[in-house]
Structure 1
Amino acid sequence: MSAISVSGLWKEYGRQVVLEHIDLEITSGSFVALVGPSGCGKSTFLKMILGDEMPTRGQILIDGEPLRPEPDIDRGVVFQRYSVFPHLTVLGNVLLALELSGSSFWGRLWGARRKKARAEALDMIECVGLSAAVKKYPSELSGGMQQRLALAQALILKPKILLLDEPFGALDPGIRSDIHQLVQRLWKEEGITVLMVTHDLSEAFTLGTRVIAFDRLRKRPEETSAYGATVTFDMKVDKPVEPPSELEAELQEAQRQAAQ
């Protein structure tokens, strides 16, 4: 897990101020939903956490350390458009991340290392429910299946932070609900910190443990370039306590009896 600290953050493109006065403390294991109108800098903020964009002013710390100036395996990302390789199968797409990280010069693994990586990739593919499609290419998959594949790609390297940039907007409601459940399960199982950009307030409050809104405080035409968006709303979302599983219930009962 990773804590994120953002202080005095500004982002400008020439004379255009996109974000200003951003100060946030995000605890490890949070699921933060970022909402706000189009053009208010939500995706830009996500790109700065990823390391794809650098702040104009201010700093971002991950677990107290300055953010590395480029994307790395500690930060996974899933975009709205499926970021998968069309010429590779499902297995090839997921395996590629392990091969590139394990052998950056050749981009391939061999022998026992490849066997181990293949087993890890197959486990992740099973985890996202694509075991029956291991040999299929992205063009043979539905939108929901492609998004599952993108999640598998992002999670196979076990990132500490998962960044989701409107990843469910193009999905049908039924498929979106299935992916919501999958993301929540993986978030809980892996213990990662999640930042998700969405325009869907229902989605934000359903998935997030915290909802943060970005917006411009000054919206007159002559002010839109000189002033950027900032945090206008920050709310913790209380989740209902889930009933314990059968195993957890048995452990709790055994602990209760032992304490008597």
Structure 2
Amino acid sequence: MIEAPKMIEAKNLWKRYGDNVVLERINMSVAEGEFVTMVGTSGCGKSTFLKMLLGTETPTSGEMLLDGKPIPDEPGPDRGIVFQQYSVFPHMTVLENVMTAKAFARNGITGYLFGGAKRQARDEAKAMLDQVGLSQALDKYPHELSGGMKQRLAIAQALLGKPRILLLDEPFGALDPGIRADMHELVLNLWHEHKLTVFMVTHDLKEGFYLGTRLWVFDKLRQDPQAPNAYGASITYDLPVGKLDRATYEEIDDNLRPVAQLA
């Protein structure tokens, strides 16, 4: 069997803040089109790892590569991100919020859209909002939206630039279970339709098993009670979970439920 080309690769990756070691000895590779979910204790470096993929944090040592080259140390249109806190402009309508995401991607001092570019951005924004189920809310303002609708808006913003990689930082943690189930279906559909490579941080182990093709567990292999920050987390488990039948999934979920609060 031919091995899929490596899209994202980490080689002996470390991240320190002064004497505080957050991540250590991270070695992994991800092929294009994979969906990686990440769980682990609070403060174990999951979000820091996501920020290194985005380009807002850089490795202290080692390498983080995209297509064999170091990931740029700034966000780019090839990487979209959605946070748990809704990153929308409260004074703009749903449609204006998504169009603004398109404007920010343009070169130039202002990023303003005029004429044909504005019409194209409006059409693309409407099409994306239709895909995420917000076609009936184009003229609403964020304060008029439910939490689930705000996350749909944030996803539309992230995807309008047609990124190759979608980064999700606990995007559904504040949502009710029923709304989360709808968002799971939406993200899976968008993943397939847009042929995305997805990295998602979640505190919910069950969610990680349901959504991902791979589940990563971040944890510390070394501990020093006298110096708790001396060692960082590594990827302690890398489990393929995307093709499990329902019975196997339920069995694994039941076995791992006691450690779900660690995620």
SS of equivalent to 2:53: helix
Aligned residues: 241
Question: Given the alignment of the two structures, is residue 232 of structure 1 paired with residue 239 of structure 2, yes or no?
Answer: no
Q: CA 1:199/1:207 → structure 2, altered by over 3 Å: closer, same or farther?
A: same
Q: Indicate which of 145, 151, 171 corresponds to 1:147.
A: 151
The Cα offsets for residues 182-221 of structure 1, whole Å up to 9 and x where unpaired, read as 0000000000100000111110010000001110123342
Deviation at 1:240? 5.8
TM-score normalised by length of structure 2: 0.89
Deviation at 1:231? 1.1
The whole-number CA distance in structure 1 between the counterparts of 2:177 and 2:223 is: 33
The whole-number CA distance in structure 1 between the counterparts of 2:221 and 2:244 is: 34
Aligned-pair identity in percent equals 58
The Cα offsets for residues 62-112 of structure 1, whole Å up to 9 and x where unpaired, read as 111211111111110000111111111100110001112224322211111
Amino acid of the structure 2 residue aligned with 1:21:
R
Amino acid of the structure 2 residue aligned with 1:77:
I
Deviation at 1:238? 3.7
8 Å contact kept, 2:224–2:230: no
SS of equivalent to 1:199: coil
SS of equivalent to 2:226: helix
Amino acid of the structure 2 residue aligned with 1:89:
T
Amino acid of the structure 2 residue aligned with 1:64:
G
TM-score normalised by length of structure 1: 0.90
The whole-number CA distance in structure 2 between the counterparts of 1:143 and 1:34 is: 23
Amino acid of the structure 2 residue aligned with 1:221:
P
Tell me the residue number matched to 2:168: 164
Deviation at 1:13? 0.3
The whole-number CA distance in structure 2 between the counterparts of 1:51 and 1:202 is: 29
The whole-number CA distance in structure 1 between the counterparts of 2:6 and 2:183 is: 23
Tell me the residue number matched to 2:255: none
8 Å contact kept, 1:125–1:131: yes
8 Å contact kept, 1:2–1:160: no
The whole-number CA distance in structure 2 between the counterparts of 1:76 and 1:27 is: 17
Question: Given the alignment of the two structures, is residue 20 of structure 1 paired with residue 13 of structure 2, yes or no?
Answer: no
Map 1:91-102 → 2, pairs under 5 A? 91-102=95-106
Map 1:240-251 → 2, pairs under 5 A? none
Tell me the residue number matched to 1:208: 212
Q: Indicate which of 118, 121, 128 corresponds to 1:117.
A: 121
Question: Given the alignment of the two structures, is residue 74 of structure 1 paired with residue 82 of structure 2, yes or no?
Answer: no
Spell out structure 1 runs of 4+ moving beyond 4 A: none
Deviation at 1:224? 1.7
Tell me the residue number matched to 1:50: 54
Structure 1 unaligned spans of 5+: 242-260
The whole-number CA distance in structure 1 between the counterparts of 2:141 and 2:22 is: 39
Question: Given the alignment of the two structures, is residue 59 of structure 1 paired with residue 63 of structure 2, yes or no?
Answer: yes
Deviation at 1:2? 8.0
Question: Given the alignment of the two structures, is residue 196 of structure 1 paired with residue 200 of structure 2, yes or no?
Answer: yes
The Cα offsets for residues 161-202 of structure 1, whole Å up to 9 and x where unpaired, read as 100000000000000000000000000000010000011111
Tell me the residue number matched to 2:41: 37
Structure 2 unaligned spans of 5+: 246-263
The whole-number CA distance in structure 2 between the counterparts of 1:104 and 1:33 is: 36
Deviation at 1:223? 3.5
The whole-number CA distance in structure 2 between the counterparts of 1:102 and 1:126 is: 23
CA RMSD, 1 decimal: 1.4
Q: Indicate which of 111, 134, 137 corresponds to 1:133.
A: 137
Range 107-116 or range 70-79, more displaced: 107-116
The whole-number CA distance in structure 1 between the counterparts of 2:147 and 2:164 is: 26
- Higher Rg of the two aligned structures: 1
Range 120-129 or range 104-113, more displaced: 104-113
Amino acid of the structure 2 residue aligned with 1:189:
E
8 Å contact kept, 2:36–2:200: yes
